[in-house]
Chain A
Amino acid sequence: DAKTTQPNSMESNEEEPVHLPCNHSTISGTDYIHWYRQLPSQGPEYVIHGLTSNVNNRMASLAIAEDRKSSTLILHRATLRDAAVYYCIRDGSGAGSYQLTFGKGTKLSVIP
């Protein structure tokens, strides 16, 4: 089961932090956790990924629970350009599977 569970939608005020949760209770030890986002009429865009440790990059931070059954994508200051659908995905490439299974994601709305 390569599924993850995310809320269907979330709202945030502009310039405030956003915490997007994801549950992946059946994740295996070699699965990476990836986050992608998709703006309307565009292809998905890579945001961040991690395995066990928390990760930071210029776009976001990824906090991974110690038991790895959940993770949180953190946007430190939401902007209007962050309004998108955010997908949390298990990457099974460590076990030789290269297909990413997308759910419906979380639609993030940013309120000016």
Chain B
Amino acid sequence: DTGVSQDPRHKITKRGQNVTFRCDPISEHNRLYWYRQTLGQGPEFLTYFQNEAQLEKSRLLSDRFSAERPKGSFSTLEIQRTEQGDSAMYLCASSFDYGTVSGNTIYFGEGSWLTVV
């Protein structure tokens, strides 16, 4: 399977604990994105990497959230001191910059479900 891979798929944690999600993008995709989705809503953009550089961050990404992509391949999203409002599906996506103006098609993973109790 050469799609976007996310781990873990499901995580239940107690309020106040830290959690980390990992994303492995499609091979050779230089762009990587994190989105968050709550029930009944569309995905909301959190942040975007071009290679290892974090180029865009949503104001939804509070100080408790940090994302990294240290070698320009896989990425991690860490949530510190989780709150019940953090319960959501965290989606990772990737795309490739073809260097031409042709639209930016992104490919999503299956998501990581977080439940904070």
Contact = CB atoms under 8 A, between A and B. Distances in A.
Contacts of A50: 103
Given A44-B43, A44-B108, A94 B48 contact: no
A43 interface: yes
A30 B100 CA distance: 13
Contacts of A94: 101, 103
Contacts of A99: 33, 45, 48, 56, 58
A93 interface: yes
Contacts of A49: 103, 105
Contact of A46 (B48, B106, B109): B106
B105 A34 contact: yes
A93 B98 CA distance: 12
B103 A43 contact: no
Q: How large is the interface on B (under 10, 10 to 19, 20 to 34, 35 or more residues)?
A: 20 to 34
A43 B109 contact: yes
B29 interface: no
A101 interface: yes
Nearest to A42: B110
B32 to A, nearest CB: 10
B104 interface: yes
Contacts of B45: 99-101
Interface string B81-117: 0000000000101000000010111111111000000
Contacts of A104: 40-42
A56 B108 CA distance: 22
A87 B45 CA distance: 14
Contacts of A36: 108
Contacts of A98: 31, 33, 48, 55-56, 104
Given A43-B110, A43-B111, A45-B108, A102 B103 contact: no
Given A34-B105, A36-B108, A100-B43, 10 more contacts: A32-B103, A43-B108, A43-B110, A50-B103, A51-B103, A91-B103, A91-B104, A93-B103, A98-B33, A99-B56
